[in-house]
Each structure stands twice: as C-alpha cells, then as structure tokens.
Amino acid sequence: MIRVLVADDHGVVRKGLRLVLSEDPGLEIVGEACDGEQAVAMAETLAPAVVILDVAMPKRNGLQAAALITRSCPHTAILMLSMYSDEEYLLRAISAGAKGYLLKDSAEPDLIAAVRAVAAGKPFFTPVLNEALVASYVRKIQTDGLGDPYDALTEREKEVLQLLAHAKTSKEIAAQLQLSLHTVETHRTNLMQKLGLHSAAEVVLYAARKKLLV
C-alpha cells in the first residue's frame, strides 16, 4: 500500500485528486493539507511515501514545502502539481527535491502512474512537458549548429548519467556498477563538464530532454 498525502489550498482540487487516486486500491490517502506549512507538519507526522504538492499555496509555497519535506523526510517522494510549464519552474522543483512534476490541466490521466513512479524512486514528468523539453533541446542544437554533446560521452559515462538522473548517489552507483567511489566521482565530473551541467537538478532536466528517464 502506497501512503499518499495531498496538499492543495483548493478543496475542490483535493477532492478531485482523492477521487482519481481512489481508483487504485494500492494507494491510500492518509491526509490532506490546505497550505504548505500544514503539508510539512503532516508529512513529518504521517511519513507518507508520496506527497502531492501544489506549487502555489499560502504560508509556504510548494517549492518551499518540498525543500523542507525533503530534508526532514528523506524517504518521502515529492510529486509537484503545477500550472507552470516552463523549464525554470521545473528546474526549481527538482532543486527543491521533487521527483515528479505534473501540469494541473493534464494531471488526471497520469496521476496514478506518477504517484507509483515516484514512490518507486523513478522520476516522472507529464508527457506534454516531456515533449516540450525534447523539442526545446532539438531547437537549441539546430540553432547553435552544434553536435549533440551526449555523443561525446563514453558508454560508462552514459551509464552513470542514467543512474544519476534516477537520483542514485555516487555510492549506490559504485555498488551497482562495481566501481570504486573515486571512479564514479570522476565519471560524474567528466560527464557534467562535457554536457555543461552544474547541479543534480540540471542532470535530471537534461535526462528528461534526452528521454533517458525510463
């Protein structure tokens, strides 16, 4: 049973989320919060597997709440619900600890799949947003007249990139690939330099553009 906490300042939205989630008998809604402050307090008390957070909420917005929950409840996955489809908000959400990002106007068909994905430790971005990210990346390469820097990665660096995008730590990657921690850190540094990435959030965003989040 996957325990879910729903946080949104609109009662009608919470009711709609509850209705959709109730279609899956493997999901249990353990609480509802109407603002970011309450969401943080309830997450710490209830320890749900997943918290669905609206970006725009009173007292603490969803991004602030996500950062606090990530620090105090490291085993709780954050699924962000947002009306914003631009990359800036997506990057901020990932930086705050979100594992998934759904657009409000297209969340219903993907909600259950998104909850199950983030509960299993996998990133999930609404398909509409995924398509936009890919299109943006292709346009950038065409405009700059450059080759895809992904092609410059070694096969091992591609493996490490894929695991980093799925929120694996260097220690976990070292164990999975049977490498030393120093070797993994070297691959991580090299691939981020080649791709022009500067943070874990940017790694996830890049992987989403490249459709590596499978």
pLDDT by residue, tens only, the chain of 214 residues: 999 999 999 988 899 999 999 999 999 999 999 999 999 999 999 999 999 999 889 888 999 999 999 999 999 999 999 887 777 778 788 888 888 888 887 778 889 999 999 999 888 888 766 665 655 555 565 555 555 688 888 999 999 998 988 878 899 999 999 999 999 999 999 998 888 887 887 888 888 777 777 6
Res 129: pLDDT:
67
Res 176: pLDDT:
93
**Torsion angles phi and psi, residue 82, rounded to 5:** -145, 155
Q: What is the 3-state secondary structure (H, E, C) of the chain?
A: CEEEEEECCCHHHHHHHHHHHCCCCCEEEEEEECCHHHHHHHHHHHCCCEEEEECCCCCCCHHHHHHHHHHHCCCCEEEEEECCCCHHHHHHHHHCCEEEEEEHHHCHHHHHHHHHHHHCCCCEECHHHHHHHHHHHHHHHHHHCCCCHHHHCCHHHHHHHHHHHCCCCHHHHHHHHCCCHHHHHHHHHHHHHHHCCCCHHHHHHHHHHCCCCC
Res 47: pLDDT:
94
Distance CA 124, CA 143 (A): 28
The pTM of the full predicted model, rounded to 2 decimals, is 0.72
Res 139: pLDDT:
57
Per the structure block, which two tokens stand in for 128? 């509409």
Cβ neighbours of residue 48 under 8 Å, at least 6 residues apart? 3, 4, 5, 30, 31, 76
Surface-to-core class of residue 113, CB atoms within 10 Å of its CB (0-12 exposed, 13-18 middle, 19+ buried): middle
Per the structure block, which two tokens stand in for 211? 């459709």
Cβ neighbours of residue 191 under 8 Å, at least 6 residues apart? 153, 157, 158, 160, 161, 197
Q: Report CA Rg, the chain.
A: 18
Do residues 166 and 213 touch, judged by C-beta distance below 8 A? yes
